[in-house]
């Protein structure tokens, strides 16, 4: 399969990586997305007709090998009420653990937030000749079909096996099927890549962020892209640019010949180079007359915009796409016909539209206007088009959404257009189809909701570490190969940061207050010091009596390190104190396999867990860094431990290796919360995010990072 990774020398540039994986057919599913019988674009229909025989051959071959086939022609379930494949899908028991919002459209995942979306699809992407399109619409009407949504069932060119296959267009039902069949690998085929294949509740984004090893079959798909729109390239080149975007920010791709032999499929008229080749992309683009602008939160340093756009003769229109969850309109868990507020700051004459409808209920304040938007004006648990018009002035401070729960700043990328035409307040299609992923604002997930941050297998099965720098980047060991350290942006873009000296392999990581970080080098019995500015690596501490330093903790003043030091073979362990000058002193021995280690927020307690013995211990910690009063906090009857961190209240977060959870536990051993983390082997964890309330977990099964929000900030 093929993916693209940022280069270590320039993270804005990408290089192609081809990776081999072995899949078990019975752990694999193919989803056939929206391969409808008819479409409103005759060109889209013509291209699909070319695709059908090859796609059907892929499905037949896969089915014969034991692969699960799920047919997902959206909006067409009425045609299949009595079909065995539809009844089979409905009969599947509900999965015990369904991801949050799995039944909703997904317009962007974090990795896409700062990426330049490669095409403008806001016109709907139809590339038809106008007269041909009009004639096609008349034909559809004569057939008794809605010319805008003419599909009624899946195309007859795709075989549905009534004895084996499933039919569903619902994300929760598809998730139930995947769970029941114990599916790990999901392949998306069908149309259209930039809209439904990416965004549907069963699409690439939902599968990626919820932990499936998802892949796009890039030659068994097509886009809705009109070459008359930016970037003004052929339809097929537009498709390639969307595929390149997928490979960079969403998931890998593969081709049909990997399933049935031969060569990759190519549409008639596509005489350009290899459809899987790398294509140009970047932030240079303008979506037709819409410019990309960055609008910052008023609390962000440097939020005063430089070179702000003004247009005295014309109004300025700013648009973005906002996912509005039901919980913003709820109080005491009961739905309310209440409002949310959209606060526009320092724009006296601003006007606001939601999904093309002007919102006129406004409360004027001295320095802002708050537009009250009723529940009935928005599409709940889905994306909505928000347009703000100003009288020729750039928006310098991010508008705010004020709701029942919190205040949500719309700080980030918007699109801007200068003009007077009120058609600029609308899109021809709903925002989830016409909008680009880089102007999407997703409300924060509910607390304790695990999401995938990095793609599967970006790291090795030695993934460990993790620790956050001041900018919110996550550093974890063994990126791509052993003996390295990877850097992951808050959006989930992973790249190689540094390679450790020959023979060194890292484990735990901790950042010092000055931005340098320390790495437990278990292979060479060192504590390494890494300067993140020049990437110089030096030995901070070494002691011949060390077994293999595993995890690290840092005193609240940032001057003293503590290291766990297990001997896995003998089931024993010890603890070390590393002073500011690098002097290593053994402070405990004759323990079990010491692993996770942490210092309490007040600096008076050192915690350590023993993986094999399943004990969590506490020591009194003196100001000189000595231990006393060893006491057992809690013993567990099953599953091991690994990493451990404290929040500011002193609660411990511990990974349960083998159980696939992270527990939140009081200093006295009472378990307050247990969160499943999309894999059975979480290894370590750290706090990060702007408010230190995002927990990042390294997960060994799929060699990736998981994240979820918590209720209290971490100690770091």
Q: Which of 432, 500, 437, 430 is nearest to 464 (CA)?
A: 500
What does DSSP assign to residue 138? H
User: Each residue of 412-428: pLDDT tens digit?
Assistant: 999 999 988 899 999 98
Provide the mean pLDDT of the chain. 93
Give residues with Cβ within 8 angstroms of 507, minimum separation 6.
Answer: 464, 465, 477, 519, 520, 521, 522, 549, 550, 551
Architecture of domain 451-709: 6 Propeller (2.120)
CA distance readout (Å), 223 to 195, 317, 382, 425, 588: 8, 28, 22, 25, 62
User: Is 182 within 8 Å of 92 (Cβ atoms)?
Assistant: no
What pLDDT is recorded for position 342?
97
Mean pLDDT value across residues 150-157: 98
Q: How far apart are CA 455 and CA 214, in angstroms?
A: 9
User: Each residue of 225-254: pLDDT tens digit?
Assistant: 999 999 999 999 999 999 999 999 999 999
**Maximum separation of any 2 CA atoms in the chain, in Å:** 87
Q: How far apart are CA 617 and CA 610, in angstroms?
A: 8
What pLDDT is recorded for position 327?
87
User: Is 540 within 8 Å of 525 (Cβ atoms)?
Assistant: no
Query: Does residue 391 carry a pLDDT above 80?
Result: yes
User: Each residue of 87-108: pLDDT tens digit?
Assistant: 999 999 999 999 999 999 999 9
> What DSSP element (H or E) covers 240?
helix 235-249
Q: How many CA atoms lie within 13 A of 611 on its CB side?
A: 31
Give residues with Cβ within 8 angstroms of 581, minimum separation 6.
Answer: none
Q: How far apart are CA 484 and CA 499, in angstroms?
A: 4
Q: Which residue has the higher pLDDT, 334 or 386?
A: 386
What pLDDT is recorded for position 337?
58
Mean pLDDT value across residues 133-151: 97
Say what the pTM is.
Answer: 0.92
User: Is 92 within 8 Å of 176 (Cβ atoms)?
Assistant: yes
What pLDDT is recorded for position 460?
97
User: Each residue of 544-558: pLDDT tens digit?
Assistant: 999 999 999 999 999
**Rounded to 10 degrees, what is the CA torsion of 422, 426, 427, 432?**
160
Within the chain, which residue ranges are assigned CATH 2.120.10.30? 451-709
Tokens 């010949």: give the residue: 257
Split at pLDDT 50, 70, 90, the class of 272 is: confident
What does DSSP assign to residue 195? I
- The CATH number of 25-260 is 3.40.50.850
User: Each residue of 687-710: pLDDT tens digit?
Assistant: 999 899 999 999 999 999 999 999
What pLDDT is recorded for position 312?
63
Q: Ranked by mean pLDDT, which of 278-287, 304-313, 384-393 comes out on top?
A: 384-393
Query: Does residue 280 carry a pLDDT above 50?
Result: no
Backbone phi and psi for residue 505, each to the nearest 5 degrees, phi listed first: -135, 125
Q: Find the catalytic residue in 169, 642, 691, 701.
A: 642
Within the chain, which residue ranges are assigned CATH 3.40.50.850? 25-260
User: Each residue of 200-213: pLDDT tens digit?
Assistant: 999 999 999 999 99
Report the 10 Å Cβ neighbour count for 559.
13
Report the 10 Å Cβ neighbour count for 54.
17
> What DSSP element (H or E) covers 414?
strand 412-419
User: Each residue of 288-327: pLDDT tens digit?
Assistant: 478 899 999 865 544 444 445 566 668 999 999 999 998 8
DSSP E strand stretches across 453-560: 459-468, 474-479, 484-488, 494-499, 506-511, 517-521, 526-530, 537-542, 552-554
Q: How far apart are CA 521 and CA 541, in angstroms?
A: 10
Split at pLDDT 50, 70, 90, the class of 8 is: confident
What pLDDT is recorded for position 405?
81
Lowest mean pLDDT among 169-173, 443-447, 530-534: 443-447
421 is catalytic: no
Query: Does residue 389 carry a pLDDT above 50?
Result: yes
Q: pLDDT over 70 for what percent of the chain?
A: 95
Q: How far apart are CA 694 and CA 488, in angstroms?
A: 14
Split at pLDDT 50, 70, 90, the class of 273 is: low
Residue count of the chain, please give it. Answer: 716
User: Is 432 within 8 Å of 107 (Cβ atoms)?
Assistant: yes
User: Is 226 within 8 Å of 125 (Cβ atoms)?
Assistant: yes
Query: Does residue 344 carry a pLDDT above 60?
Result: yes
Q: How far apart are CA 106 and CA 441, in angstroms?
A: 11
Query: Does residue 172 carry a pLDDT above 90?
Result: yes
Tokens 């439904």: give the residue: 196
Q: pLDDT over 90 for what percent of the chain?
A: 89
Backbone phi and psi for residue 85, each to the nearest 5 degrees, phi listed first: -70, -30
Query: Does residue 6 carry a pLDDT above 50?
Result: yes
Within the chain, which residue ranges are assigned CATH 2.60.120.260? 291-442
User: Each residue of 460-480: pLDDT tens digit?
Assistant: 999 999 999 999 999 999 999
How do 362-364 and 572-578 pair as beta strands? unpaired
Alpha helices in 346-404 (DSSP H): none
Architecture of domain 291-442: Sandwich (2.60)
DSSP E strand stretches across 296-374: 315-324, 330-331, 334-335, 339-345, 351-354, 357-359, 362-364, 368-374
User: Is 17 within 8 Å of 2 (Cβ atoms)?
Assistant: yes
Backbone phi and psi for residue 88, each to the nearest 5 degrees, phi listed first: -65, -40
Q: How far apart are CA 631 and CA 636, in angstroms?
A: 15
What pLDDT is recorded for position 284?
42
What pLDDT is recorded for position 12?
83
Structure tokens at 152: 């009624």
């Amino acid at each position: 399969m093929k993916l693209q990774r940022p280069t270590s020398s320039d993270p804005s540039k990408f290089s192609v990586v081809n990776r081999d994986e072995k899949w078990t057919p019975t752990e694999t599913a193919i989803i056939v997305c929206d391969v409808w019988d008819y479409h409103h674009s005759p060109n889209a229909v013509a291209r699909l007709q070319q695709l059908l025989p090859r796609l059907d051959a892929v499905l037949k071959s896969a089915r014969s090998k034991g692969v699960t086939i799920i047919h997902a022609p959206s909006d067409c379930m009425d045609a299949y009420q009595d079909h065995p494949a539809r009844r089979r899908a409905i009969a599947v028991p509900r999965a015990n653990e369904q991801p949050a919002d799995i039944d909703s459209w997904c317009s962007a995942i974090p990795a896409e937030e700062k990426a330049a979306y490669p095409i403008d699809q806001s016109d709907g992407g139809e590339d038809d000749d106008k007269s041909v399109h009009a004639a096609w619409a008349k034909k559809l009407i004569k057939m008794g079909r809605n010319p805008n949504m003419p599909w009624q069932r899946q195309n007859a060119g795709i075989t549905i096996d009534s004895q084996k296959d499933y039919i569903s267009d619902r994300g929760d039902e598809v998730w139930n099927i995947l769970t029941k069949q114990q599916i790990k690998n999901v392949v998306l085929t069908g149309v259209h890549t930039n809209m439904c294949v990416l965004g549907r509740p069963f699409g690439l984004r939902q599968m990626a962020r919820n932990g499936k090893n998802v892949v796009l079959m890039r030659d068994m798909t097509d886009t809705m892209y009109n070459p008359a729109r930016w970037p003004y390239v052929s339809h097929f080149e537009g498709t390639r640019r969307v595929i390149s975007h997928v490979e960079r920010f969403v998931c890998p791709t593969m081709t049909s010949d990997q399933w049935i032999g031969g060569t990759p499929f190519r549409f008639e008229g596509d005489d350009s180079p290899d459809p899987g080749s790398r294509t140009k992309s970047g932030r240079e683009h303008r979506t037709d007359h819409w410019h990309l602008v960055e609008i910052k939160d008023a609390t962000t340093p440097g939020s005063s915009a430089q070179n702000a756009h003004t247009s005295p003769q014309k109004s300025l229109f700013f648009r973005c796409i906002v996912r509005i969850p039901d919980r913003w309109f709820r109080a005491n868990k009961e739905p309310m016909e209440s409002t949310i507020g959209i606060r526009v700051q320092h724009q006296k004459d601003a006007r606001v539209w939601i999904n093309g409808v002007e919102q006129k209920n406004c409360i004027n304040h001295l320095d802002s206007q708050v537009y009250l938007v009723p529940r009935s004006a928005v599409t709940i648990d889905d994306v909505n088009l928000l347009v703000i018009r100003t009288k020729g002035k750039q928006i310098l401070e991010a508008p705010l959404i004020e709701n029942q729960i919190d205040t949500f700043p719309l700080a980030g990328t918007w699109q801007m257009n200068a003009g007077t035409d009120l058609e600029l307040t609308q899109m021809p299609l709903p925002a989830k189809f016409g909008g680009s992923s880089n102007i999407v604002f997703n409300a924060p997930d509910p607390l304790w909701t695990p999401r995938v941050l990095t793609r599967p297998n970006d790291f090795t099965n030695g993934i460990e570490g993790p620790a956050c720098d001041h900018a919110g980047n996550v550093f974890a060991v063994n990126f791509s190969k052993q003996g390295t350290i990877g850097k992951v942006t808050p959006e989930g873009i992973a790249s190689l940061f540094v390679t450790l000296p020959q023979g060194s392999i890292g484990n735990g990581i901790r950042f010092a207050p000055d931005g340098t970080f320390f790495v437990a080098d278990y292979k060479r019995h060192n504590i390494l010091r890494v300067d993140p500015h020049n990437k110089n690596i030096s030995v901070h501490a070494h002691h011949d009596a060390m077994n293999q330093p595993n995890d690290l903790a840092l005193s609240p003043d940032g001057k003293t390190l503590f290291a766990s030091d297990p001997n896995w073979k003998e089931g024993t362990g010890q603890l070390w104190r590393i002073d500011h000058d690098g002097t290593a002193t053994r402070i405990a021995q004759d323990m079990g396999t010491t692993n996770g280690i942490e210092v309490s927020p007040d600096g008076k307690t050192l915690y350590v867990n023993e993986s094999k013995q399943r004990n969590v211990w506490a020591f009194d910690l003196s100001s000189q860094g000595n231990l006393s009063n060893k006491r057992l906090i809690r013993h567990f009857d099953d599953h091991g431990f690994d990493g451990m961190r404290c929040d500011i209240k002193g609660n411990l977060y511990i990974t349960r290796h083998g159980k696939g959870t992270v527990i939140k536990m009081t200093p006295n051993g009472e378990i307050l919360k247990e969160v499943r983390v999309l894999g059975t082997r979480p290894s370590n964890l750290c706090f990060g995010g702007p408010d230190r309330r995002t927990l990042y977990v390294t997960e060994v099964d799929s060699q990736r990072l998981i994240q979820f929000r918590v209720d209290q900030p971490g100690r770091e």
